[in-house]
Amino acid sequence: MVDKRIAIIVAAVCLISTNADVLTHKSPIRFPDDFEFGAATAAYQIEGAWNVDGKGRSIWDHFVHTKPESITDGTNADIAANSYYFFKRDVEMLKELGVNNYRFSISWTRIMPFGRPDYINPLGIEYYNNLIDELLANDIAPFVTIYHWDLPQSLQERGGWLNEEIVDWFGDYARVLYENFGDRVKHWLTLNEPYIHCYYSYGVGYHPPLLYSPGEGYYECGRHYLLANARAYHIYDDEFRASQGGLVGFVISMEWGMPATGSAEDVQASRDYAAFHNDHFMHPIFSEQGNYPQIMIDRVAAASARQGLNVSRLRPFSYEQIQYLKGSADFLGLNHYFSTYVYRNSSLEGSFTVPSLEDDIMVGKFKDPSWPHFGMTREYAPGLYYLLNFLKEKYNNPLIYITENGASTLTGLDDDSRVSYIRNYLSSVINAVNEGVNVKGYFIWSLMDNFEWAHGYSLRFGIYEVDMNDTNRKRIPRKSALVYKEIIRSRVIDVSYEPDPYAKEIVMLKGVATFSAPYFVTFALTIFVCLV
């Protein structure tokens, strides 16, 4: 018994020290000279001006006005950070940071108030022309997300993501953007996060259109997202690539799910979890075979049969569609926030809604209570390192931009937890890059505080704080902005760097934290065990 305990302690301490290797460096590793840094936002979350200059209503405008109780703090994004008016200040902030790239999204209803190209709003085109020109005048490259969840309400009323016609609607919209902005925009991101968008809208019904269809609607939404991405990709390829010479990527959010134990069941649970969460959207595009991952096809087919259905709830793609989807992205836009432990045992049977995504996967998950608190949650930064290596191995080292990664805090400028988050996650990135993973750039989410969807303004993701009570929506850099700026300038992660305005507070904090007894015990044990 005692031996077993010692073995566990030794394993745990070595694990801590292995993690420490990922998180800190004995000698500073530089980001390669061509590695690009950026910051990201999305139209509905920052622009405001929701009904100004001819803009039409999106599903989010409709949702926050008809169901304000669905937003944690009862707020909406009618004004948000008001970037429609303050975009020059946004560009100034990007310049202050020294980033190469800015990822923002275009509001579909600002360009086409009713979603279709029979009417194109000149003032919408003008707004984005001004923003793009301002960025380029400051040597910042625009990375433009074509769709970040703000579907025109009029298209929702025609079925939205559950109607296959959306593939045409989206293609037509993308074409208008290529035509108007493609002379200056060289990086397009078709659609943001199929999993989160479809799951929150249909899998749990907590984002608009508030439809709950967790075993069917969820998969249909994902199917149309994949086809819509491919349509936009092929339109660019066929009609614009030769003259505009840009790249078109797809943004997928991915988690890193680790087996809770070495048992065969938990290991299989982690494979299944990856298949449903990550490979669901990666495999059709980035694998050689194409199509949904086989694990997913098999599990949903088996569950559907058990439920007495004659066909699988995961509608199969035709041979032509599989070919059409294959290779339909020049790069992967990876959004990553979370890691989790996953497991499977008999207690899970019957614990999920039938039918549903959760019931189809049948895994339980939890976070390790020993993971450090970054922002509002416990996180495990090495998860990103492992995820990047997994993508390299499984998908033949695709070109990757990390299009989102970040942490939430409450209001306040002293965001040490976000500073640690950025340093730790960027350490994972730099280590992966060093080992040959083809990550070309990183975008922090987010440039500034914004409307965090159903959480309203109760969660703050900005490295710039925005005073939501000030009519000028004053933006002030948090400590994390200054740290990020220094990483970009020096191209190394220096954990001892403290931005000047905070130096005094930090010295005081260090006096308390650094010399605590548990720290020394852990440190001494680690050295001892791992040297022996």
Candidates 36, 47, 134, 193; catalytic one:
193
Distance of closest approach, residue 80 Cβ to ligand GCO, in angstroms? 12
Given 360, 452, 465, 498, the residue binding ligand GCO (CB under 6 A): 452
Q: Does 196 bind ligand GCO (CB under 6 A)?
A: yes
User: Is 193 labeled as catalytic in the residue annotation?
Assistant: yes
Q: Does 192 bind ligand GCO (CB under 6 A)?
A: yes
Distance of closest approach, residue 130 Cβ to ligand GCO, in angstroms? 23
Q: Does 253 bind ligand GCO (CB under 6 A)?
A: yes
Q: Is the peptide bond before 446 cis (omega within 30 degrees of 0)?
A: yes
Q: What is the DSSP letter of 315?
A: P
CA 463/CA 407 separation, integer angstroms: 9
CA 274/CA 138 separation, integer angstroms: 40
Binding segment (CB under 6 A) for ligand GCO, from list 190-198, 210-218, 287-295, 498-506: 190-198
Q: Indicate the residue among 105 and 291 with the shorter CB distance to ligand GCO.
A: 105
Which residue's entry shows tokens 């022996």? 532
CA–CA distance from 40 to each of 85, 148, 249, 449 (Å)? 18, 12, 15, 11
Distance of closest approach, residue 44 Cβ to ligand GCO, in angstroms? 9
Binding track over 285-324 against ligand GCO, x by CB under 6 A = ----------------------------------------
CA–CA distance from 298 to each of 105, 192, 222, 276 (Å)? 36, 27, 17, 11
Q: What is the DSSP letter of 381?
A: T
CA 251/CA 18 separation, integer angstroms: 30
Q: Does 134 bind ligand GCO (CB under 6 A)?
A: no
Candidates 47, 134, 220, 404; catalytic one:
404
Amino acid letter at 131?
Answer: L
Distance of closest approach, residue 450 Cβ to ligand GCO, in angstroms? 7
Residue 293's SS3 state is: coil
Q: Does 193 bind ligand GCO (CB under 6 A)?
A: yes
CA 402/CA 411 separation, integer angstroms: 25
Given 90, 150, 404, 465, the residue binding ligand GCO (CB under 6 A): 404
Number of residues that bind ligand GCO (CB under 6 A): 11
User: What residues have CB less than 8 Å from 469, skipping those under 6 apart?
Assistant: none
Q: Does 461 bind ligand GCO (CB under 6 A)?
A: yes
**Adjacency order of strands within the sheet including 364-366:** 256-259, 339-343, 364-366
Which residue's entry shows tokens 């505009």? 244
Distance of closest approach, residue 218 Cβ to ligand GCO, in angstroms? 16
Distance of closest approach, residue 117 Cβ to ligand GCO, in angstroms? 26
User: Is 36 labeled as catalytic in the residue annotation?
Assistant: no
Are 444 and 36 in contact, with CB atoms under 8 Å apart? no
Q: What is the DSSP letter of 205?
A: -
Q: Does 480 bind ligand GCO (CB under 6 A)?
A: no
List of residues contacting ligand GCO (CB under 6 A) = 42, 45, 192-193, 196, 253, 335, 404, 445, 452, 461
**Would you name the residues annotated as active-site residues?**
193, 404
